[in-house]
Amino acid sequence: MSTGPLMPKATAVWLVENTALTFDQIADFCKLHPLEVKGIADGEVAAGIKGLDPTVNGQLTRDEISRGEADPSYRLKLAPPKVKLPEVKRKKGPRYTPVSRRQDRPNAILWLLRNHPELKDAQIMRLVGTTKTTIQQIRDRTHWNAAHLTPMDPVTLGLCSQIDLDFEVARAAKDRPKVVPEDDQTLLPAEVTTAPEEEVQPFGDTSRPRREEEEELDVDSVFAKLKQLKRPDDEEDEEL
């Protein structure tokens, strides 16, 4: 937010020519030195500059000028803007790394690759401010200084904060699919574990299904069947 008027010298020229404000009041409002305002009044400074009315562009009100003219010790204040402009958000780019810490980035990358292999290249780039090519070279051990690299915590090196590191690790763990081990066995349902076991007879006849209840033998029907099976010779002997 601006603390002074636009075009301070042009505003000072208008205030000197059109108001009874003191040099100190004008200098304080326009963020100039009092001697510079005095030079404007004497025509030695800002020659040829056209005065700019601050009441036209809404930076100063007539009441504020009158209040300042009535009290030489009063300090003018900028009028609040009538239209509030939205703040321009800075586009996020690669993290800036101080020159004194840039030689430590390969060590930090190696530490991240070993301790947090779940991190993506884009996450490592955000944490330590490096490039994808450098990450790939360190991963493949083709970096020019690969033989002398030592894994070092990027938080200890001052390349990123612990909060940023924890956030990226948690984000990578959330995106990673869950792996179920092959030997993971679930419990059997209670109906199976509590069912009574069937008695198995080792010498039972397995060629036909067992009947739940054995039929009771009828003695009369057995003898009737035996009589039907008698031979004709036996019947002749009985008649003789």
Q: What's the pTM?
A: 0.38
Tokens of 58: 């809404």
Domain extent listing, the chain: 8-70, 99-175
Residue 111 binned pLDDT confidence (cut-offs 50, 70, 90): very high
Instruction: Please report the pLDDT score of residue 28 as a whole number.
Output: 92
Of 104, 147, 143, 105, nearest to 124 by C-alpha is 105
- Residue 6 neighbours by CB under 8 Å, 6+ apart: 52, 57, 59
Of the listed ranges 11-15, 43-47, 231-235, the one predicted with least confidence: 231-235
Question: Average per-residue pLDDT in the chain?
Answer: 77
Residue 147 binned pLDDT confidence (cut-offs 50, 70, 90): confident
Long-range contacts of 233-239 (CB under 8 A, 24+ apart): none
Tokens of 66: 């009158």
Of 144 and 199, more confident: 144
First-to-last CA distance in the chain?
144
Neighbours of 201 (CB within 10 A): 8
Q: Where are the alpha helices (DSSP H) in 43-131?
A: 62-70, 105-115, 121-128
Residue 112 binned pLDDT confidence (cut-offs 50, 70, 90): very high
Residue 1 binned pLDDT confidence (cut-offs 50, 70, 90): very low
* Greatest mean pLDDT range, 51-60, 131-140, 155-164, 181-190: 131-140
> Which tens digit of pLDDT belongs to each residue from 183-204?
555 556 666 666 665 555 555 5
Residue type, 164: D
Tell me the torsion sign for CA atoms 165, 170, 171, 176. positive
Whole-number CA gyration radius for the chain: 50
Average pLDDT (53-70) is: 89
Helix axes 105-115, 132-139, angle to 10 degrees: 60
Tokens 């020229």 sit on residue: 13
Average pLDDT (156-169) is: 87
Instruction: Please report the pLDDT score of residue 213 as a whole number.
Output: 47
Instruction: Please report the pLDDT score of residue 214 as a whole number.
Output: 47
Question: In degrees, to the nearest 5, what angle opens at C-alpha 38 toward C-alphas 36 and 40?
Answer: 70
Residue 41 binned pLDDT confidence (cut-offs 50, 70, 90): confident
pLDDT surpassing 70 at residue 97: no
- Measured CA to CA in angstroms, residue 115 lies from 16, 120, 152 at distances of 68, 13, 10
